[in-house]
Amino acid sequence: MWRRAVSSSSTTPQLLLRKLSPPSSAPSLTIVRSLTTTSSATTPPHSQTLFSAPLSGNTLKKVEDVMPIATGHEREELEAALQGRNVLEINYPVGPFGTKDSPAIVKSVFDKRIVGCPGGEGEDEHDVVWFWLEKGKPHECPVCSQYFKITQCHQLG
């Protein structure tokens, strides 16, 4: 009913307030303002505090500016993204087929990691073979003879 009364073009907000309110009470200024302004043109005052103010171009953003409640791994990902790094790049190694002389490099935060070998491309592909890869010990895939070596990247925390 309220929406129908407000959207009708034949009544003005002041007349509408006089019809809906008791005769002894005066219309509130905030109600008149909310009825006369369009909702798409301005941000409602109650939601202005929900959005952060735009930052100038020369200041560095912090995680609190992007997502104030981020903690743990999510916070690490956001900090890295603001610095231009990708924390999760270690999960998708890409490179040439690993040989004994130049093994495929796999990044890890720890000294040991589980690695899956899908084989080469095209006809050389095989079912994924999973194995533990340890620091300082190159590993050879038993199916396609591809060599893997682990390198330690950034530390956690």
Residue 106: DSSP 8-state: E
Quote the CA–CA distance of 72 and 69 in Å, as a whole number.
10
Quote the CA–CA distance of 17 and 36 in Å, as a whole number.
12
Please report how the helices 29-36 and 13-20 are oriented relative to each other, as an axis angle in degrees rounded to 10: 130
Residue from 152, 153, 117 nearest 132 by CA: 117
Count other C-beta atoms under 10 Å from residue 87's C-beta: 17
117 annotated ligand binder = yes
**Spatial contact of 83 and 127, defined as CB atoms under 8 Å apart:** no
**Spatial contact of 50 and 60, defined as CB atoms under 8 Å apart:** no
Place of tokens 């956690």: 156
126 annotated ligand binder = yes
Binding residues for Zn(2+): 117, 126, 141, 144
Annotated binding site: 117, 126, 141, 144
